[in-house]
Amino acid sequence: MAKAVKIEAEAREKVGKGASRAARRANKVPAVIYGDNKEPVSVQIPLNVIVRLLNRGGFMSHTYEIAVGKDKHSVLPRDLQLHPVTDVPMHIDFLRLGKGTTVVMNVPVRIIGEEACEGLIRGGVINHTRHDVELNVAAENIPEYVEADISALDINDAVRISDIKLPEGAAPTITDRDFIICTIVAPSGLKSSEGADDDEEEVEGEEGEASEEASSSEE
């Protein structure tokens, strides 16, 4: 499970467009914490803190512990609004995570076993069908990533969701098929070479058949 990132926030006494604009002028990002059958809490977070977290990557798939005075809230980002021109964070909605809460998450896929992969050693390349997988997962057990092991794969082999070890209690939202995560494919040069060999064999076969027919007619 990914460790919750701690964020210090301030309570917002006023809400609305005017209060939000005032927060942004003060280099704060307005946000709201909601859910878990509790009253929403309006807060503001220093802009530089949010920018730093965004630059780390995976902002929407991490859990956070937001401290507002003496109160602490375990949360998950559910909506992030950015300025349409500058991409500066404008507002964030955080879902409060209570005990036993189940959420739908897009969890990144991390490829492992590349050094031992026979398909890569032979010149193949990884074709990423999915860079993340959507899971139903317990809020207290959200993984930072899941691993796709390609160490045993050769060219044209694949890793499917059934090959992925998921956290306890987690399940893919797609349940009607064993979908592919990634495959090892032959490079275009190798494909072209194999195609040329096939063409040569076909020509040789046709020439052989023609020679046999000529010999039969002479007899």
Degrees to nearest 5, angle at CA 144 with 143 and 145? 85
Instruction: Report the mean per-residue pLDDT for the chain.
Output: 86
Looking at residue 169, what is its pLDDT?
85
Domain range annotation of the chain: 5-98, 103-186
Predicted confidence (pLDDT) per residue in 114-172, tens digit = 999 999 999 999 999 999 999 999 887 888 899 999 999 999 999 999 999 998 889 99
Q: Of residues 192 and 2, which shows the higher confidence score?
A: 2
Looking at residue 88, what is its pLDDT?
95
Confidence of residue 16 (pLDDT cuts 50, 70, 90): confident
The model carries a pTM of 0.69
Structure token digits, residue 109: 């896929």
Calculate mean pLDDT across residues 38-51.
95
Calculate mean pLDDT across residues 3-13.
90
- Do the two domains 5-98 and 103-186 of this chain adopt the same fold? no
Predicted confidence (pLDDT) at residue 49 exceeds the cutoff of 70? yes
Classify domain 103-186 at the CATH superfamily level: Ribosomal protein L25, C-terminal domain (2.170.120.20)
Identify each DSSP E strand in 47-172 by its residue range: 64-68, 71-82, 89-96, 102-112, 125-128, 132-138, 146-149, 158-160, 171-172
Confidence of residue 219 (pLDDT cuts 50, 70, 90): very low
Radius of gyration of the chain, Cα coordinates, nearest whole angstrom? 28
Predicted confidence (pLDDT) at residue 78 exceeds the cutoff of 60? yes
Predicted confidence (pLDDT) per residue in 168-207, tens digit = 889 999 999 999 999 999 987 655 555 545 544 444 444 4
Q: Of residues 64 and 99, which shows the higher confidence score?
A: 64
> In terms of Cα–Cα distance, which of 107, 111, 12 is closest to 63?
107
Collapsing DSSP to helix, strand or coil, 172 comes out as strand
Looking at residue 15, what is its pLDDT?
84
Q: Which CATH architecture has domain 5-98?
A: Beta Barrel (2.40)
DSSP state string for 8-74: EEEE-S--SHHHHHHHHHTTEEEEEEEETTEEEEEEEEEHHHHHHHHHHS-GGG--EEEEETTEEEE
Looking at residue 194, what is its pLDDT?
54
Looking at residue 3, what is its pLDDT?
74
- Residue listed under structure tokens 């076909």: 202
